[in-house]
Amino acid sequence: MSTTFQLDTSTSRANPTPQPMKRLTVPKIRAHKKDGSVDEPLVMLTAYTARTAQLLDAHCDILLVGDSLGQVIYGLPSTIPVTLDMMANHAAAVVRGSYHAVVVVDMPFGSYERSPEQAFESASRLLKDSGAAAVKLEGGAQMAETVRFLNERGIPVMGHVGLTPQAVNVLGGYMARGRSDAEADKIVSDAKALDEAGAFAIVVEGVVEPIAIDVTKAVSCPTIGIGASSQCDGQVLVTEDMLGMFERVPRFVKRYEDMASVISKAAETYASEVRSRTFPGEEQTYQPKT
């Protein structure tokens, strides 16, 4: 029986699912790429809450609890201050709100870089506390030993190469990577090292398109692009960016809705009705029984 909880939208309460539900698995995601190609690209979006997960789940193969929650949820200037507690709590909510997609949780900055042993301690805590299926960590060849260490101990790992937000202070900003031959070669070799170490998928972020295509051809596991190429084996976006919740739109984002305007307009209408005393009306109040 699935231990997933679903939100009852009429009461805002979480209830156990009444029927057994079978999720996609990490091996199925890995096997999505056969003989160097995929029949249908993988779909991944970020989720940080149970309700968002519930809305996205049927449409996604993977839900990523990204450390981008630092900016999106907490208003932090970068992902650097994000903690294990933040990631574990939000990942648990996403697991409770979903039943189909593989839930992957980001390992926050400082929780895995020191040693494979540190990474195992952090990753095992994230999975035990949340029920997520896998972790994601940033870095290339220098993290291959850690990826192998985790994989051999039962923790599936999604890699991340190219523009790695946790390294923004070293990179000097959020610019596209791979414009020089040396950097392009390093991105490809980083991806190959992660693939050989056992990563079940690799996010390729902010990389000039020809290099993203080279990476996709060079590795046996699926690549998931963000600001990369449609020729990657899948795509991911930050859901709030895709929904138009922020004024700034990165080049690689396509806005599929303007939810910021929808929410603002609803709040404006609500405020007007409160101030004019037209809300609550008879339909929203309890009258004496006659």
What fold, for 5-242? TIM Barrel (3.20.20)
What's the pLDDT score for residue 248? Answer: 83
What single string gives the DSSP state of each residue in 7-21? Answer: EETTTTEEEE-SS--
Q: Are 46 and 237 in contact (CB under 8 A)?
A: yes
Q: What is the pLDDT of residues 39-91, one digit of tens each?
A: 999 999 999 999 999 999 999 999 999 999 999 999 999 999 999 999 999 99
pLDDT digits (tens, 9 = 90+) for 210-224: 999 999 999 999 999
Catalytic residue among 117, 145, 183, 205: 205
Confidence of residue 3 (pLDDT cuts 50, 70, 90): very low
Q: Is 247 part of any known ligand binding site?
A: no
SS3 content of the chain, % helix, strand, coil (to 5): 40, 20, 40
Contact criterion met (CB below 8 Å) for 125 and 146 = no
- Give residue 289's pLDDT: 87
Distances (CA, A) of 181 to 79, 188, 210, 279, 289: 28, 11, 12, 63, 79
Rounded to two decimals, the pTM is: 0.90
> pLDDT confidence of 2, banded at 50, 70, 90?
very low
User: What's the pLDDT tens digit per position in 172-210?
Assistant: 555 666 578 888 999 999 999 999 999 999 999 999 999
The predicted structure's pLDDT at residue 180: 86
> Is 180 a known ligand-binding residue?
no
Q: What is the mean pLDDT of residues 133-161?
A: 97
Q: Is 128 annotated as a binding residue?
A: no
Rounded percentage of the chain residues whose pLDDT exceeds 70 = 88
Instruction: Between 167 and 271, name the one with better pLDDT.
Output: 271
User: Domain boundaries in the chain?
Assistant: 5-242
Is 205 annotated in the active site?
yes
**164 φ, ψ to 5°?**
-110, 105
On whether 106 is known to bind a ligand per the annotation, the reply is yes
Residue 254 marked as a ligand binder: no
